[in-house]
Amino acid sequence: MENERKFGAGTIVILVILLGLLGMAIYMGYVGWGMGGAPGGGESMSTRGYIAMGLGILATLALGIGLMSLVYFSSKSGRD
């Protein structure tokens, strides 16, 4: 029973905070998605809006992938 791990108070606090942030992100995504065509939510998003959203997603993914690859290669080359 030496390998048994116990969660401390700090770990529980961090998990509660992260779960709360996840819940808020899901809620905001739900509300934001409904604004596009929900009754009383205004007009649906135009074609330009979808193109802008797609380009923003691609740019964000490219930035994230690029930065993570730099971290990986920096770690493997021993320059850290």
What percent of the chain stands above pLDDT 90?
Answer: 49
**2 & 39 share domain:** yes
What are the Cα distances from residue 49, in Å, to 3, 41, 74? 53, 16, 37
CA-based nearest residue to 35, from 48, 49, 24, 22: 49
What percent of the chain stands above pLDDT 70?
Answer: 80
**65 & 38 share domain:** no
Range of the domain at 74: 46-80
Determine the Cα–Cα distance for residues 80 and 73; give it in Å rounded to an integer: 10
**36 & 50 share domain:** no
- Residue 16's identity, in one-letter code, is V
What is the arithmetic mean of pLDDT over 13-20?
96
How many domains are contained in the chain?
2
**25 & 60 share domain:** no
What is the model's pLDDT at position 14? 95
| CB-side neighbour CA atoms (13 Å) of 72 | 6
**62 & 33 share domain:** no
53-57, 62-66, 72-76, range with the lowest pLDDT: 72-76
4-8, 55-59, 73-77, range with the lowest pLDDT: 4-8
**2 & 38 share domain:** yes
